[in-house]
Structure 1
């Protein structure tokens, strides 16, 4: 067999892509995982001090224990765990190699990347949703002061920042930057705070109640300028002095990539990709989805802990096909 030909090619080296690799390896298939960024690229982009919702055991893949000194692991612990899994299991992973095309080649698929061309009988798409931010679509959003990603609070010391959003990311950004000396204002479309970690929400509510963090509910930005922003509130439009805008408005999957591959998406706003729930197979024979990508715009449906089973379903289905032959 040619060295660039595999039984299974997996797109994405996030936790679920790695889980698929572990299952393929255990089943005795030749496989390759290709990732356009670093290992577990989405987790790497998480804020420096982020703590997971889940306990360590629910982030485990392949039955390999995840030891954490905290009740809920943090970003550095997760990165360490997935590196150790990759090394200890000798997973076949190519990093910083972007998939650009998927085409039919008889009984196989040709997968073209930024570095090579591969043939595979089966393809698993396990990409995340952290690369495409949901835009505000307002004047001034392209200014350098506007950030859709947040990493470390120290940068914002003594800065006037606006945080857009009502959920976990916005809550973490608001609290962390406030505690590092930023002047924080939250702009929230809804009438109340959203889905926030239970140990974080009371803290934020108290900071808002005491006025340490200013919050405008049922409000939205209408324009961003170099030194200020305009906000539409229920009582009218106001202007706030501002140094940085942190738009924690969420992210979406790479729908264009799926469409280029030929995978069917629902015609509505949710853009759910088609797949069989028992086999994870898409409308393309022997092309499968795994992980958060399965939810389309509903990025809150699938997480590491409840989509690990996708890897098991896919490999079980592939094994069933082989037995039928």
Structure 2
């Protein structure tokens, strides 16, 4: 429901309250710019929705923003440590963040101002930074039964699947973590993998574990296989052995996620036509083909979501703010 508040005006409006969005807020504050961060969920919402027991691939110092130390119990921190770290950054620096507010529309700039409509109010901003990540929209298989209650595209905690027959679809880090954790909680796990083996990008300290569990038969894996249908008590898969039905209680479709491309296109941002859907932006300034609209973080990679992480995109905040302040000086 739209709340009728006076329109708020800012130098910078940041869409997304994840680590990179927070970094952009910190840089805006240091440059003396008026800013607001708009996040549709809770603080660092994507991280909050990661699996409970997730361990980052990166070490803690590579997850730091604005040179604020990230102290963790182990070199590679877990989800709860990351939530605490980024929360303390937001609260200690009194960042201006509006949570549980969804950006619905960004109109074309008029008089050098972008008008932003959210679920709660409207804003005007000279500059927009899109730092929305890619975790919001799953890659759907579009097969019969995908909408059944037994099916999930996100995985949280293994306890829910204890003693149950669970099919895990995928061979990336999320699928492997889920399969191993559910197996160790007493679940009966079958992995359905499109390729001939577990993915090469799986965390190096986890890959031997999943390979060994598959080799010994503790976790069943069907390679070069595709899901064809999900039924109430079974799934149907197709492989080189033909079609087969597997008795099943739950299905985890961990087949990856993608950015909200419609949101980008509606703002006028051009996407590559080679299937990768990489947004058009200046690699030196992060400004898109729409003047005053910038990209930061993993959203820059389009469908290639494996190319950008916190550790190699946190620099985007400084690049963007340098460009914004240089333009302001030249005006």
Tell me the TM-score normalised to structure 2 length: 0.96
Are the counterparts in 1 of residues 7 and 124 from structure 2 also a CA contact under 8 Å?
no
Structure 1: gaps spanning 5 or more residues: none
> Which of 276-285 and 231-240 deviates more?
231-240
1:205 paired to 2:211? yes
Q: Distance in 1 between matches of 2:191 and 2:140?
A: 17
**1:290 matched residue in structure 2:** 296
SS at match of 1:121: strand
**2:47 matched residue in structure 1:** 43
| Per-residue Cα deviation, 1:125-180 (whole angstroms, up to 9, x for no partner) | 11011110001111111111111000000000111010011110110000000000
1:111 paired to 2:116? yes
What's the offset of the Cα at 1:236?
A: 1.2
1:145 pairs with one of 141, 146, 150: 150
What's the offset of the Cα at 1:3?
A: 7.5
Q: Distance in 2 between matches of 1:80 and 1:303?
A: 19
Q: Distance in 1 between matches of 2:113 and 2:90?
A: 27
**1:85 matched residue in structure 2:** 89
**1:186 matched residue in structure 2:** 191
What's the offset of the Cα at 1:71?
A: 1.3
Structure 2: gaps spanning 5 or more residues: 1-5
Extract structure 1 runs of 4+ deviating beyond 4 A: none
> Which of 262-271 and 76-85 deviates more?
262-271
**2:166 matched residue in structure 1:** 161
**2:27 matched residue in structure 1:** 23
Tell me the TM-score normalised to structure 1 length: 0.98
**2:129 matched residue in structure 1:** 124
RMSD of the alignment, in Å?
A: 1.0
| Per-residue Cα deviation, 1:17-48 (whole angstroms, up to 9, x for no partner) | 00000011011111000001111110000000
Q: How many residues align?
A: 324
After TM superposition, the structure 1 = structure 2 runs for residues 243-262 of structure 1, keeping only pairs within 5 Å, are: 243-262=249-268
**1:136 matched residue in structure 2:** 141
